[in-house]
Structures are given as C-alpha cells and as structure tokens.
Amino acid sequence: MSRRRSRRQRIAEQVDLAGLTQEDLTWGRNVLGGEEDYYWRRLSDDFALKDIVPATYLELHNQCYEAWNANPLASAIIEMTTSFVLGKGISIEANHKKVQRLLQQFWHDPANRMDERIYDLCQELALYGEIFVRFFVNPYDGSVRLRLIDPSLIDLIETDPEDVETPLRFHRRPLGQNVSQLVSPEQLRMRVEAVDSEGEWFQAGTEMVQFAINKVSNAKRGRSDLATLLPWLRRYKDWLTDRVRINKYKGAFLWDVQLSGADKKTIDRKRMEYSYPPEPGSVLLHNESEKWTAVQPAINANDAREDGRALKLMIAVGAGLPEHYLSDASQGNRATAAEMGLPALLRFQRRQKILKYIVRTILDRVLLEARRAGKLGTSIDTSYDVLFPEIDCADHQTLASACRAWSMPSR
C-alpha cells in the first residue's frame, strides 16, 4: 500500500489535474480516469487514426449545437459563413436543354426545395463539420429525393482496410420505428425489431454519402468550425455576464440610518417604521438624532474592455475572421479593415469550392438515375456548371489610397 501511495504522489507532482482546462480534458491524454490512470493507455486508442473517441465526439457535437442556439457570437460565426458562401443563392447552367430541364425539376421539387436546402447544407456543414446525405430513388421514373441525417446518429463508419478515405458503409444507431417503404405487417414488425435492436447499415455512395471538413487525411469524422472556439465562446459569455452583474451591483445602494442614543425599544420601533424604504424622490424629515446615509458597494471594478477584446480576438483568430466582422469596429481604419478581411474572404471562397463539390455530387446522382430510367440518352451532353455568387475581393490598395486621400487636410 505504501509503494502504491508513493507512486500516486509522484504522479500527482508531475500531473496537475486541478489545473486542466476544457481543452485539456477534450484533446489531452487525461480524457478518462484519474491520476493513477495517466500512464495507462485506453483500449480504444489508436494513434494511427486521428478521430476522437465516440463519447467525446457526441459531447462536442452537442456543445456546438447548444452554442449555436444559445451563444449569439457562435450563431453569428455560422450565419456569416453561410451568408458569404451562398449569398443570394446559386444557379445551374447545363449545355443541353433537356438536362437543364431535368436538373431544374429536381432543384424545385417540393420534396427537395434545394433553393432553401442548400443553405441548410452549408450551415450544418459548418456547425457539425460533416453532413450525411441520404438518397431516395424512385425505381420507376428515376426521380431523386434527398434528406440530411443527423451526424450524431452515425456511430460507425466502415472503410476500406487499405484506404481510410474510401467509406464502404455507415451505421445508424437504433431509432425505433423507422420504415421507409411499404411492407406487410409481419415484415414491418420484423424490420422494426431489427432496427430497434441493431440499428441500420447504409451503403456508401448508393444510399448515403458523407461530406466532411476540418479533418486530416487519416480521420473518418469531420470537425465543426466551432469546435476549437467552444471554450473561448463560453469564457467570453461568462465575462460578459460578470460585467452585467458588476454594473448592476455598482448601481445598487442601501440606506444606513444611525440613531443617536436610542435604546432597543426605539430601534425596534424605527425598524418597523422604516420597513419599506423611501421611494425615489421622497423627502426625508428628521431631527438631529437621526442620520441617513446612502451606502453603495465598493466593488472597485476597473475598466475591463481590453480583457474582453483579448477574449474576442482569440475567438476571431480561431474562426478565421477579422475583428471588425465580430461587431468591433473600434480598432483600425477602413484600409486596415480591408486588408484584414482578405484572408477571411479567401477562406469563404475555399468553402465555396467544397459546397460546389457537394452540389455536383448530388446532381451527378440525379443525372445517373435519369439515365438508368431512360430519361436521358447516352449521346446527350450532360455537362453543366454550378455558379456561386462572387465574393467581393476589391482592390485593397485603391481603398487604402482613397482613405488616405480623404484623411489628408485640404490645402
């Protein structure tokens, strides 16, 4: 027992678990267990694969969703990405009229509503770090409908043993009664029981397609744009909440009434008389035996503006956004803001390329099913282009020159 105690003491000296931050608990080696488990490796660890353990993934997934709902800054980051990438929407131009008509039918199908769904694709890709698109194909006319599957429901991705970037099938955790086709009551009961107990597998490419961002080549799951920002979003929100409390209490005060030479009976009588404090604007009349004093709390809270700015800068850096994008235009001038905005605009252009690949993958499937159903001949040119709104990357040198000329005094 003494040897074990001394070993734990040595580990406690080397590892300060009390000082761990949220980042350490999520990404460090101390995700599970206490001090005595520090040098032990979990059975699920595989350092060749860069995915975090499923429990941590689900926790991050839920925290990102909660931040998007409850934290205005997190919601603004996701919304800003969607607005810059998609703008007023995208358009499709095909070389052949028949192909154009077929793609427009799919795009404006009330079951697909792609004009609105494209924003959901971009938003959930940024929020979750990955999206799973499930295809429903009508075997008679080749029409395609698609739906987004919540990534938290996909608990296992089976890939090619020799190529982790080639998924073979996806497993969805048990959902309960979830049947997508008409079957007999007996088949329905058997299918529901199987889905309830074991979940359901979907073939990659034919039934479901995964699109992931913010991941390395040896990882299977994507990572949200908010994942690295979560601790700092929480800290900034807590800082703002504390400032609100401080400002509230700084304005609070109470009346201190001093009675000269009063006994207990007099004090009790005055306490009953002044049980309700005087309203604002009231006139207090008393003799020299009473002394009224308004007492305010001595909080001594200095100006913490720079502390808040430091937290917001950390969030802006993690989000790849300039400071003035996060409603803080107090620093710098127009030329500085233009130069700072260029990396963010390039990031949005890169996200446009990812969205373009997603849209082309979906539309290629639509054309493939149309050919299988005989709607398109093999000789028809099926080439098309997906046009995104241009992100304004103005000439920043011109902006700087104009700003400098405007600021120079006239002779």
DSSP per position, 372-390:
HTTSS-TTS---EEEEPPP
Predicted pLDDT at 267: 79
Sequence-distant (≥ 6) Cβ neighbours of residue 187 within 8 angstroms = none
β pairing state of 144-149 and 154-160: unpaired
Highest mean pLDDT among 3-12, 213-222, 272-281, 306-315: 213-222
Mean pLDDT for the stretch of residues 52-78? 89
Predicted pLDDT at 17: 47
**Strands (E) located in 150-224:** 154-160, 163-172, 200-203, 208-212
> What kind and span of H or E run contains 290?
strand 290-295
Check pLDDT > 90 for residue 344: no
Residues facing 136 on adjacent strands: 145
As a whole number of angstroms, the distance between CA 78 and CA 399 comes to 28
Check pLDDT > 50 for residue 395: no
297's tokens: 């709390």
DSSP character at residue 5: H
Check pLDDT > 90 for residue 136: yes
Q: Are 322 and 340 in contact (CB under 8 A)?
A: yes
Which residue shows structure tokens 């308004």? 294
- Percent of all residues in the chain with a pLDDT value above 70, rounded to a whole number: 69
Check pLDDT > 80 for residue 9: no
- Average per-residue pLDDT for the chain: 77
Highest mean pLDDT among 38-47, 161-170, 266-275: 161-170
**Strands (E) located in 98-141:** 130-137
Prediction pTM value: 0.71
